[in-house]
Amino acid sequence: MAKKKRTKAKQAKTKRPAKKFRKVVKLSSAKKPKKGNGASLPKMSSKPFGKDGKALTGVRILDFTHVQSGPTCTQLLAWLGADCIKVERPGAGDITRGQLVDVKGADSLYFTMLNHNKRSITIDSKHPQGMRVLEALVKTCDVLVENFAPGALDRMGLTWERIHKLNPRMIVASVKGFGPGPYEDCKVYENVAQCAGGSASTTGFREGPPLVTGAQIGDSGTGLHLALGIVSALYQRNRTGRGQKVLTAMQDGVLNLCRVKLRDQQRIEKGPLTEYSQHSEGVPFGVSVPRAGNDSGGGQPGWILKCKGWESDPDAYIYFITQAPVWQAICDLIGEPTWKTDPEYATPRARLPKLKAIFARIEQWTMTKTKFEVMKLCNHVDIPVGPILSMKEIAEEPSLRKTGTVVEVDHPTRGKYLTVGNPIKMSDSISEVKRSPLLGEHTDEILIDVLGFKANEVAEIKNSGALSAPKKEEKAA
């Protein structure tokens, strides 16, 4: 014990990486430790780009996530090369397997589109033999990711203290609805987070109620934040040799994405928000940031305008930004060349009170063209515009297929389906999208190949019922 203490003290003094770490990562060509992180870079790979594994090759994740926020995070890590072992409740699995089912008897798109590139093992975490398997997983994995309701992991017996004791290098990453405070015990879903994180109060039209957005900023947005936390914790572990807790609260994640609205809250206390169309309409501001319809969030006025075909096509619209440096080009394009020099229109300040009328005039022009024609004409002269693309158009867009952003995947029980691939493109860590696992599909290979259980141990665990759904009569009893 005393020897151990001395060794630890010595390590801290010389700032060398922890002993365990030195075993795992080979610091080749490392003569002198580099300043800063205390470690040198390994020798440069001689393999071609994209052929030397993936960014997270060698990282193993105990994926205890369900629904959307956690699975978004672990799917990203799996795309980046981590071996992601998804632990699911026997017989049921992630609840989304059976939600919004479109092909009878097959996993739903909700599940398949959030769980690519993972392996699935079924474990009853409340069964002693299930806990035996979980503990073995804790010892062998680098990261545990979970998004259970507050306290659920502790109730299973997997407290931070226990995990840390079993595997001091393990990173324990959690999504919760709220951070510490009055709401920390609440269960939270997407729209709750959008409302509590400031998004809903600032989305929609001034005259209408608060609105939630279609983009899943509460679930997927928080999963993204968590993934960054995990990768950073892995990086820090390279230096410290120890794991840590990583927490992202959905409220915090949404608020981070609503940062510009908290900016405006502080500005509104000093005077009107002049770039909001409410200002040009002469409507006084209240005490907090209002809903701003389709106003642009930055200093460049913008609005959504009708395009040719809007009468029958709900998506025949374009977002048009009247960016000051291209004002002259806009005037030429819409047939108002005199606005270039007319002092009533020539400066952003002069235009501000007339924005509604100006956009109405631009719309007269956009309504004579399709959104794609407007896009082409405007981009030709550097006017930023955004066609409102329907999901059908996105699904059929060839360039998105080409980049792997939209991918067709085959699945044994549901057949072919479309999904969104990895939006992060890396030149030396190229993602391929593999179908989601069937429930418990990899149970045996994980027990034997990953955890090293012998055949008799596997039989013992299986016979105990820890990996299978309870029989009907047991359930009823």
Q: Does 359 bind ligand COA (CB under 6 A)?
A: no
**Tokens 């429930």 sit on residue:** 439
Question: Which one of 83, 219, 252, 295 is in contact with ligand COA (CB under 6 A)?
Answer: 219
Question: Which one of 147, 280, 322, 436 is in contact with ligand COA (CB under 6 A)?
Answer: 147
Going by C-alpha positions, the residue among 157, 38, 329 that lies closest to residue 339 is 329
Cβ(420)–Cβ(411) below 8 Å = no
Closest residue to bound ligand COA by CB: 149
Contacts of residue 11, Cβ cutoff 8 Å, sequence gap at least 6 = 18, 19
Contacts of residue 299, Cβ cutoff 8 Å, sequence gap at least 6 = 275
CA distance 22 to 169: 13
Cβ(126)–Cβ(156) below 8 Å = yes
Tell me the catalytic residues: 219
Q: Does 75 bind ligand COA (CB under 6 A)?
A: no
CA distance 144 to 451: 16
Q: Does 148 bind ligand COA (CB under 6 A)?
A: yes
Binding region for ligand COA (CB under 6 A) out of 68-76, 240-248, 358-366, 417-425 = 68-76
CB nearer to ligand COA: pick between 78 and 134? 134
Q: How far is the CB of 128 from ligand COA (least distance, A)?
A: 12
CB nearer to ligand COA: pick between 148 and 453? 148
CA distance 3 to 297: 60
Q: Does 425 bind ligand COA (CB under 6 A)?
A: no
- Taking the mean position of all CA atoms in its chain, how far away is CA 25? 28
Q: Does 155 bind ligand COA (CB under 6 A)?
A: yes
Show the binding pattern over residues 170-199: x = contacts ligand COA (CB under 6 A), - = does not: -----xxx---------xxx----------
Binding region for ligand COA (CB under 6 A) out of 151-159, 165-173, 228-236, 349-357 = 151-159
Contacts of residue 170, Cβ cutoff 8 Å, sequence gap at least 6 = 138, 141, 142, 143, 144, 163, 164, 243
Q: Does 229 bind ligand COA (CB under 6 A)?
A: no
For 111-180, strand residue ranges (E) read: 118-122, 143-146, 171-176
CB nearer to ligand COA: pick between 69 and 296? 69
Q: How far is the CB of 174 from ligand COA (least distance, A)?
A: 8
CB nearer to ligand COA: pick between 123 and 289? 123
Q: How far is the CB of 77 from ligand COA (least distance, A)?
A: 16
3-state DSSP call for residue 420?
strand
Question: Which one of 68, 120, 202, 296 is in contact with ligand COA (CB under 6 A)?
Answer: 68
**Tokens 């080979």 sit on residue:** 26
Question: Which one of 126, 263, 356, 434 is in contact with ligand COA (CB under 6 A)?
Answer: 126
- What is the phi/psi pair of residue 121, to 5°? -130, 140
Q: Does 67 bind ligand COA (CB under 6 A)?
A: yes
CB nearer to ligand COA: pick between 214 and 286? 214
The number of CA neighbours under 13 Å toward the Cβ of 362 is 27
CB nearer to ligand COA: pick between 219 and 264? 219
Count helices and strands in the chain by DSSP H and E runs: 21, 11
Q: What residue spans of 245-354 are helical by DSSP H?
A: 250-257, 259-268, 277-280, 327-334, 348-351
Q: How far is the CB of 391 from ligand COA (least distance, A)?
A: 21
Q: What are the beta bridge partners of residue 60?
A: 83
CA distance 306 to 366: 6
Question: Which one of 16, 60, 89, 242 is in contact with ligand COA (CB under 6 A)?
Answer: 89
The maximal CA–CA distance of the chain, rounded, in angstroms, is: 88
Residue 115, judged by CB atoms within 10 A of its CB (0-12, 13-18, 19+), counts as buried
CB nearer to ligand COA: pick between 139 and 155? 155
Q: Does 152 bind ligand COA (CB under 6 A)?
A: yes
Q: Does 74 bind ligand COA (CB under 6 A)?
A: no
CB nearer to ligand COA: pick between 76 and 188? 188
Q: How far is the CB of 188 from ligand COA (least distance, A)?
A: 5
CA distance 159 to 446: 23
Under the rule (CB under 6 A), what is the footprint of ligand COA? 67-70, 87, 89, 123-126, 147-149, 152, 155-156, 175-177, 187-189, 219
